[in-house]
Structure 1
Amino acid sequence: MPPELPCFFLLFLILCFSNTASSDELDSLLTLKSTLKSSNPNLFSTWIPSNPTCDFTGVSCNTARNVTEIDLSKQGLSGTLPFKAICSLPSLQKLAFGFNFLSGTISSQLLNCRNLRYLDLGNNQFTGSFPNLSPLSKLEYLYLNLSGFSGIFPWNSLSNMTGLIHLSLGDNPFDTAPFPKQITELKKLTMLYLTNSSISGSIPPEIGNLSEMSSLELSDNFLSGSIPVEITKLEKLWQLELYNNYLTGVIPVGFRNLSSLLRFDASNNSLGGDLSELKFLNQLVWIQLYQNNLSGEVPAEFGDFRNLVNLSLYSNNLTGELPQKLGSWAEFDFIDVSTNSLSGPIPPDMCKKGTMKKLLILENKFSGEIPASYANCTTLTRFRVSDNLLTGDVPAGIWGLPNVNIIDIADNQLRGSITSHIAKAKNLVQIYASNNDLSGYIPEEISGASSLLLIDLSENKLVGKVPESIGKLKMLNNLYLQNNQLSGNIPTSLGECLHLNDVNLAENAFSGEIPKSLGSLPTLNSLNLSQNDLSGLIPNTLSSLKLSNLDLSYNKLSGPIPKSLSMGAFKGNDHLCSSDIKSFRECSSRSRDYHTFVICLVLGLAILVALSGCYLYTKLSGGRKDKEGSFSLKDDYSWNMKSYHVLTFSEEEVLDSIKPENLIGKGGCGSVYKVDLKDGKELAVKHIWNFDFSDDPKKNRPSTPMLDKKYGSSRRVKEFDMEVKTLSSIRHINVVKLYCSITSEDSSLLVYEFLPNGSLWDRLHSSKKLTLDWQSRYDIALGAAKGLEYLHHGYERPIIHRDVKSSNILLDEFLKPRIADFGLAKIPQVNATNCDSTHVIAGTHGYIAPEYGYTYKVNEKSDVYSFGVVLMELVTGKRPIEPEFGESKDIVSWVSSKLKNRESVLSIIDSSIITPLKEEAIKILKIAILCTARLPELRPTMRSVVQMLEEAEPCQLVSIVVAKDGAKKIEENKEKF
């Protein structure tokens, strides 16, 4: 045998075995391709048998040509992962599928990837619990954040992974569990991300064992107790985030040892003490400690921090002055120290580098003038200095900052005028300048600030006319000019501001007639022109408005009061007349005999007294029963009525109508009755018993206060009080109008306007279903969005509805929407204690934001999510929960699964929406997807939602052609569009 033959034979065997191994790996990768290809065909174009596996996109190999890495992150992939095939790759060390749309559960076959050092399944849509990871003992990097995992996480399995360097498990709805001490044994950890993962209890002192830690994020959990002093041992820490917990105590002594710290955020806790430990950390870039109980002064050393770009300390108890060199060294971004007791001058150089975006110092005791330097700070988007002790002239350039959204200088002692610079403020949305000493004219150039939604210049010393150019502000929602010295005619051009919702021009010297053009404002909800010198007739054009508030009192108006406006205020106009309002003379030329009038009045009073006596006798002698044998409301003989508008009906008229034949609906918070008034108007009355019949086996009314308490009186009263508190002050055309409340010991009634077309749910899903054309759906979406925007942004503190759904969007005779049912509403308090958190799941299945189910934390973004679901209902015609979606899936996950390609998206549009308008519907679907983002911070505000909806208004030409000639003609002429 030739000597070289054994060597050749050996080489042949090696090549054979090598090709066999490569063939197995190819099969595994092709199995992975077949599972995921449909969601991104282009990605897998190189994954073909004729190519070496090491040349496949996203695949890496070692020198032996064995697959060691698969990285398919951020590729838009959907479907389930074939872990059996993946983990048959014997040399696989890295598996990365982060930022995709993968779903399903994680099978135990993942545990066969024994050589994994890097595993990234984060930012996906998996379900179920995660398996015990103990076999994956070689892991160094583990990313499972924001992936939908739930249940109990196998914390014990971490003890076997002593080589872990990065651990990211946050933003998953795990079952609540104490801080896992197994983590404190991972001595090599440099990064730990457990934000929003339902961790409770205290941070263990053993946290100090993690000496290599550089980034520690424990925010948005249920952590309590103090920050352990042992945390000061983590000298390599550059980022520490503890916000949105229940931490108490002080910033621990020794915190100054964290000399590498760049970012520190412990906002929204209950920390006390002062900031003295931070004055030594001169590398800090980011300090966020808002909404705590911190006191003392802001350290003078902060003014020498050369890297500081972000300082947020609002809603604490801080005193003293801000360092005058604050923010002058670095490219400073923003400061928010609002709602403290800070004093002294405003630091002048925070925009020295020309990068500052937000200056928020409202609700303090700052004094002196506004530094002139901020008039040149063109990067500013928010300038809020209201409710301080500021004096001097407002620097002229402030009015013309090109990027500013909000100018808020209200409640100071500022002087000067609104300058023509305002024409440059193209992004200005809101002006709050009330309660100052501003003088001069409102400039014609104000029309240049074309993005304005709100102008509040009330309680100043402005003079002259309101310029006609104000009519060019087409986006204007609210105009408040009351209590100034304005004169001349009210500009007729206001009728061109078609989005006006609230106008208050009271307490000025306006003269002339009320412009007829105001009657053309389709969304006007509140109009106050009182205490002026207006004369002439009340225009009949105002009769077409749906006003919640009208005040024309104390003018010189004459003639008849239009019947449809009879609920307004007209006092102090001696020459007005009315056939409906008793306090005004009859609109008749015939004289009346005074004596005859007196006689009729006396007789009427006598009859009224007699009827009252009969009524009282009836009540005292036992009352009456309704058809079901339960007690009628008339058995209660002590009622208290509180009105929130001028009423044309009596308490008695309402009580008489609360009977079974008038019942039109029942809900979780009470029964609803329809009331037909004698004058032809209709009301809706919600009746809430102050106890819960469901706990009473006899279904009869308890008769004592003790029983009332036992059967849930306090809960029902709380629901009633919340709804009254929320609704009584609201004046918006897209929020249901509350006329009055009527209460007794046993019952509570809320009297609303009646909306004849029921709820949006009825019109989309019930037996009362209507075929809504796309324009109607769009109008409903925009109107409901404006109602929610008003709740979120129209008050000093936002009103959070907490139960936004299609059944709580009611429709009037013109299908205009009203937000209704505020039994779950919440108004967050800036200084709320931890016990103020609402740890009870409120809302309706299918509409509840995902974070609410496991954190119970309520904010405006929860409403935004629910509204996004409503938009999906309008676009698809589907209910939030449908059998076709699959088990444990809702409309949001169903829509998400259909975003693979254009055809798939078009398939989910309601079939009753004609083809030419499906493109319009897709625009709204995109907004709905933004609203239902998994992370709350990624969702837009309702103000942004309204703006996006307005930009998505259906093409008028398309709508007109559809209305006149139908879909066929659209297809024939589509080249014209």
Structure 2
Amino acid sequence: MFKVVLVYGFSLLINIIIIVESINPTLDDDVLGLIVFKADIIDPDGKLVSWNEDDDSPCKWVGVRCNPRSNRVSDLVLDGFGLSGKIGRGLMQLKFLSKLSLARNNLTGSVGVNLGQLTNLRVIDLSENSLSGPVPDSFFEQCGSLKSISLAGNRFTGRIPDGLGECLALGSVNFSSNQFSGVLPLGVWSLHGLRSLDVSDNLFEGEIPKDVEGLYNLREIKLRKNQFTGLVPDEIGACALLRSVDFSENSFSGTLPSSLQKLSLCSDMNFRSNLFTGEITEWIGEMGSLQSIDLSNNMFTGAVPNAIGNIKSLKVLNVSNNRFSGSLPASMINCQNIQILDVSRNSLTGFLPTWLFQLGLQTVLFSENKLAGSINGAFTSSTNISHQNLQVFDVSHNELSGEIPSDIGKFSSLRFLNMSKNSLMGEIPKTVGKLTALDSLDLSVNQLNGSIPVEIGGATSLKDLVLSQNALSGNIPSSIATCSFLTSLILSKNSLSGQVPVAMAKLADLEYVDLSFNKLSGNLPKPLANLAHLVRFNVSHNQLQGELPGGAFFNTISPSSVTGNPALCGAAVDRSCPTVLPKPIVLNPNSTGSDPDSVPQPLDNKKTVLSISALVAIGAAAVIVIGIIFITVLNFRVRSTMSRSAAAVPLSGGGFSSSPSTDTNSGKLVMFSGEPDFSTGAHALLNKDCELGRGGFGAVYRTVLGDGRSVAIKKLTVSSLVKSQDDFEREVKKLGKIHHPNLVALEGYYWTPSLQLLIYEYVSGGNLYKHLHENEDENGSSLTWNERFNIILGIAKSLAHLHRLNIIHYNLKSSNILIDGMGEPKVADFGLARLLPMLDRYVLSSKIQSALGYMAPEFACKTVKITEKCDIYGFGVLVLEIVTGKRPVEYMEDDVVILCDMVRGALEEGRVDECIDEKLQGNFPAEEAIPVIKLGLICTSQVPSNRPDMAEVINILGLIKCPSESNEDSES
């Protein structure tokens, strides 16, 4: 409070000084103004340490420049100083300031000062900060001398003041990467001196007026990524000095005006991702200075014009995802400077152009067209092939035929090669092993035969190898191990045979492996268990045998990934592996042992005498049988004891003891509040009809106390608790003291050496899993968006409470989130891991195997510490499960879908609808749902330190639900 008063008092004093100085100008206004400006700034790196209020002049201060004649501040340039805080009123004292540049800092707040009153200002650069709010209407009231303004890379909102159109001296305007909206001031289109206009990446709308020819000095115009509509006016051709035109990612429509041909100086033309139609005619050949043409993602039709060949300076041509037809013109052989050619996703026909490899191209994309004929033509008919430049070559999804030419190995710089989904035949050329720079090779869905060449190991940079759906045979070469960067190995649906090579275990980065639908045999190599990054390993429908490798991944592998191998055994295929005893060594009891080659001989009395080894084996077998009988009897007695213990519950005061001492015959009951009567409810412990569910730590039953109150009783599995009674009671009592509206309350416990019970409050609404994936109410409806949001918030609050008490849940999943009668979430099973003798990763993971998909990656890495960040990962998966209505891991027929990966990919590609539960479609606020999805993805970061803590999560959820209220709170 004292600091606030002190700061307020200082600010008031400064304002009084400013008023006094306006009356008595004898003091240096510039020193005073800059000191006042500095008072509103935070300077963590001490860049402004030279600014001393005792100096007579600021002209030697860092970032300050003065006019040598007047000795007044003319330039204030503090770019990249790491400053934060706000732009204060002190600047208004700098009456002769002509350049203000505060770019690349961390300044926040709005531009509250009226810089328009500084009549000498020529340059304003506030770019790349965190400034926000609208630009004041008075900002451009007195802008007669203003020549350049940049507000780029901030968070400004609202409309641009109309006064901008009165700044007649303006030569450069950059408002890009903000959240400006509305239409641009009409006067902007008549600023004769304007050379550069960049308003890209905003929310501007409206049409471009026809009087755009007023911008006859314009050199570049960038309207990218807005909501502009309408036609591109013919008058744009009057802007003859234009060198760069970028109208991409808007909603412009109609045809491109032929007047564009007048832009003879234009080098960059980008109309990507609009609604343009019609043909591109020969006028484009008149734009002889063009270096880059991007017309992708529109609805252009007709043929690619022959006049393209007239543009000899052309470096980039992208006409992908349109409706172009016919063949590419042969005139393109004249485009000797072209480096990138993208004509993918059209309806082009004919052969692969014979001139293709004569141009020294770096990127060639012909995918998803209707090209036919032999692929050899482009290689054999080219006389001057340039092999050094080509890096990307994609002719996938066409109708190409013939063999893959061995000359492919000469393209030594090739990084990406995709010839999939064609009709290619023959063998994979051995020369692919010479492609040492190749990252990705996809030859899938063709008619290739022969074996995978051993030389493939020479492609040492390979990350993705996809050869599926061909007719390949032979073994998987062990040389694959030299491709040490490999992450994806997809060889499914071929006729590969032999064993899975042990060398594959050396590919430490492997994530996706699909060897399904082949003829592989033998055992899976045990060292495969060491592959720490595996996400999918599909070997279904082969002839494999023996036991699956052990390890974290293979312990939880999907059954669909190993099905179709009759001789394979292990938990995943629900087939136990036979116990193999070593064959006994038979010794001749009559032998002296001196002859190692002696063979056992029959005795004279013709009776067979058992060898010593046989006797030992029989004895061992007898011991095993006796052991099995003993364990069976012991289990029967334990069950009887447990049944008697459970059945003893009805005996009030007899079945339980409320005494602090332990009665091993009757057990010890402790209730944290009161002494209940169990006389009507203990039968539930043995009644399957009252079972609520089962988890890693035991089964849960519902029972009713004598007073009519329901409780939930968790019967803990004996094998999970090897602690002493004192340790057990100490931990349970700690858990009993934890109370929170969103946590299931622990009300008591029961102890005997053979039976341990935890007594919880009963939550009537069932668990979240059933609400999301099974149950719907009588009306057929499911959880609404508000109900889902409140569940997410409630879970976050409960975890924040646990983490404040240094308790990690360890076992978050939707079946452990209960919903009460009011729709509020209550988190169950918290802290049960404390009952284990030690928090061993293997023991933990085995206890919570049903939480597959929720477990943080740290569990698989022994060197990473398990912290509350594990809970945050599980929370993130829960968030995505609640929003999408999908399970964390979905097992398809031949695939495994990981929810986090699916949502991340869909969101990056703009497929938001796939990230929302179909039961919510059309009935959810996108402005809340999308940020919640992004929060879930942040929480599931692979790096624990990148995940927020739960307090931050709660604040973020508050901002998402009530952004305006949160802003008001922060301002106050």
What range is the shorter-chain TM-score in? Answer: 0.5 to 0.7
Between 1 and 2, higher relative CO (CA 8 Å, sep ≥ 6) is seen in 1
Distance 2:901 2:448 in 1: 40
Per-residue CA deviation, residues 753-786 of structure 1 (Å, 9 max, x unaligned), is: 997669989999xxxxxxx995447996999999
- Which residue number corresponds to residue 310 of structure 2? 304
Distance 2:346 2:945 in 1: 42
- Which residue number corresponds to residue 142 of structure 1? 149
Question: Cα 1:256–1:79, aligned 2, differ >3 Å: closer, same or farther?
Answer: same
Distance 1:867 1:352 in 2: 48
- Which residue number corresponds to residue 108 of structure 1? 113
| Counterpart amino acid of residue 952 in structure 2 | R
Distance 1:388 1:435 in 2: 11
Among candidates 157, 174, 193, match of residue 168 of structure 1: 174
Partner secondary structure for residue 564 of structure 1: helix
1:193 aligns with 2:198: yes
Deviation at 1:54, TM superposition (A): 3.9
Per-residue CA deviation, residues 895-920 of structure 1 (Å, 9 max, x unaligned), is: xxxxxxxxxxxxxxxxxxxxxxxxxx
- Which residue number corresponds to residue 769 of structure 1? none
Question: Cα 1:662–1:25, aligned 2, differ >3 Å: closer, same or farther?
Answer: farther
Deviation at 1:240, TM superposition (A): 1.3
1:338 aligns with 2:344: yes
- Which residue number corresponds to residue 481 of structure 1? 491
Distance 1:488 1:392 in 2: 29
Partner secondary structure for residue 173 of structure 2: strand
- 1:221-260 → structure 2 map (5 Å cutoff): 221-260=226-265
Partner secondary structure for residue 362 of structure 1: coil
Partner secondary structure for residue 364 of structure 2: strand
Among candidates 542, 546, 549, match of residue 537 of structure 1: 546
- Which residue number corresponds to residue 900 of structure 2? 819
Deviation at 1:363, TM superposition (A): 0.6
Aligned 8 A contact 1:239 1:263 in 2: yes
- Which residue number corresponds to residue 444 of structure 2? 434
Deviation at 1:288, TM superposition (A): 0.9
Per-residue CA deviation, residues 683-711 of structure 1 (Å, 9 max, x unaligned), is: 76625887xxxxxxxxx9559xxxx89x9
Aligned 8 A contact 1:466 1:486 in 2: yes
Question: Cα 1:66–1:84, aligned 2, differ >3 Å: closer, same or farther?
Answer: farther
Distance 2:550 2:855 in 1: 34
Deviation at 1:317, TM superposition (A): 0.4
Among candidates 850, 867, 874, match of residue 947 of structure 2: 874
Distance 1:848 1:149 in 2: 25
Question: Cα 1:180–1:55, aligned 2, differ >3 Å: closer, same or farther?
Answer: same
Deviation at 1:554, TM superposition (A): 5.8
Partner secondary structure for residue 819 of structure 1: helix
Among candidates 84, 87, 90, match of residue 92 of structure 2: 87
Distance 1:90 1:801 in 2: 55
Deviation at 1:306, TM superposition (A): 1.4
Aligned 8 A contact 2:198 2:223 in 1: yes
Question: Cα 1:825–1:540, aligned 2, differ >3 Å: closer, same or farther?
Answer: closer
Question: Cα 1:501–1:350, aligned 2, differ >3 Å: closer, same or farther?
Answer: same
Distance 1:838 1:56 in 2: 59
Question: Cα 1:317–1:459, aligned 2, differ >3 Å: closer, same or farther?
Answer: same
- Which residue number corresponds to residue 270 of structure 1? 275
Deviation at 1:480, TM superposition (A): 1.9
| Counterpart amino acid of residue 149 in structure 1 | F
1:841 aligns with 2:922: no
| Counterpart amino acid of residue 156 in structure 1 | D
Distance 2:258 2:871 in 1: 54
- Which residue number corresponds to residue 120 of structure 1? 125
Partner secondary structure for residue 359 of structure 1: strand
Among candidates 393, 405, 408, match of residue 383 of structure 1: 393
Distance 1:494 1:362 in 2: 31
Question: Cα 1:819–1:295, aligned 2, differ >3 Å: closer, same or farther?
Answer: same
Question: Cα 1:506–1:107, aligned 2, differ >3 Å: closer, same or farther?
Answer: closer
Question: Cα 1:497–1:106, aligned 2, differ >3 Å: closer, same or farther?
Answer: same
Partner secondary structure for residue 269 of structure 2: strand
- 1:768-917 → structure 2 map (5 Å cutoff): 774-776=864-866, 819=900, 841-843=926-928, 874=947, 878-880=951-953, 882=955
Q: Which protein shows a greater Rg?
A: 2
Among candidates 62, 83, 93, match of residue 78 of structure 1: 83
Identical-pair percentage: 23
- Which residue number corresponds to residue 182 of structure 1? 187
Per-residue CA deviation, residues 573-604 of structure 1 (Å, 9 max, x unaligned), is: xxxxxxxxxxxxxxxxxxxxxxxxxxxxxxxx
1:358 aligns with 2:444: no
Query: Structure 1: where are the runs of 5+ without partners?
Result: 1-16, 569-655, 676-682, 691-699, 717-734, 739-752, 765-771, 789-799, 850-861, 895-977
1:564 aligns with 2:544: no
Partner secondary structure for residue 309 of structure 2: helix
Question: Cα 1:321–1:818, aligned 2, differ >3 Å: closer, same or farther?
Answer: closer
- Which residue number corresponds to residue 903 of structure 1? none
Query: Structure 2: where are the runs of 5+ without partners?
Result: 1-21, 577-701, 703-709, 715-740, 744-763, 789-811, 816-846, 891-896, 914-920, 968-972
| Counterpart amino acid of residue 548 in structure 1 | S
Aligned 8 A contact 1:60 1:68 in 2: yes
| Counterpart amino acid of residue 455 in structure 1 | L
- Which residue number corresponds to residue 281 of structure 1? 287
Question: Cα 1:661–1:193, aligned 2, differ >3 Å: closer, same or farther?
Answer: farther
| Counterpart amino acid of residue 243 in structure 2 | W
Per-residue CA deviation, residues 635-681 of structure 1 (Å, 9 max, x unaligned), is: xxxxxxxxxxxxxxxxxxxxx9xx99899999xxxx99559xxxxxx
Partner secondary structure for residue 41 of structure 1: coil
Indicate the larger mover: 387-396 or 414-423.
414-423
- Which residue number corresponds to residue 65 of structure 2? 60
Distance 2:115 2:122 in 1: 13
Among candidates 151, 154, 161, match of residue 155 of structure 1: 161
Question: Cα 1:844–1:44, aligned 2, differ >3 Å: closer, same or farther?
Answer: farther
| Counterpart amino acid of residue 841 in structure 1 | A
Distance 2:275 2:122 in 1: 40
Partner secondary structure for residue 390 of structure 1: strand
Deviation at 1:212, TM superposition (A): 2.0
Aligned 8 A contact 1:802 1:825 in 2: no
1:323 aligns with 2:323: no
| Counterpart amino acid of residue 546 in structure 2 | L
- 1:701-720 → structure 2 map (5 Å cutoff): 702=779
| Counterpart amino acid of residue 900 in structure 2 | I
Partner secondary structure for residue 510 of structure 1: strand
Indicate the larger mover: 22-31 or 86-95.
22-31
Partner secondary structure for residue 441 of structure 1: coil
Partner secondary structure for residue 314 of structure 1: coil
Distance 1:451 1:443 in 2: 16
Aligned 8 A contact 1:824 1:842 in 2: no
Aligned 8 A contact 1:129 1:149 in 2: yes
Distance 1:762 1:413 in 2: 43
- 1:451-530 → structure 2 map (5 Å cutoff): 451-530=461-540
Partner secondary structure for residue 414 of structure 1: strand
RMSD over aligned Cα atoms: 5.4
Question: Cα 1:497–1:134, aligned 2, differ >3 Å: closer, same or farther?
Answer: closer
Aligned 8 A contact 1:271 1:293 in 2: yes
Distance 2:938 2:313 in 1: 37
Partner secondary structure for residue 259 of structure 1: coil
Question: Cα 1:548–1:780, aligned 2, differ >3 Å: closer, same or farther?
Answer: farther
Deviation at 1:273, TM superposition (A): 0.3
Aligned 8 A contact 1:808 1:821 in 2: no
Deviation at 1:397, TM superposition (A): 5.3
Aligned 8 A contact 1:375 1:397 in 2: no
Indicate the larger mover: 503-512 or 272-281.
503-512
| Counterpart amino acid of residue 388 in structure 1 | N
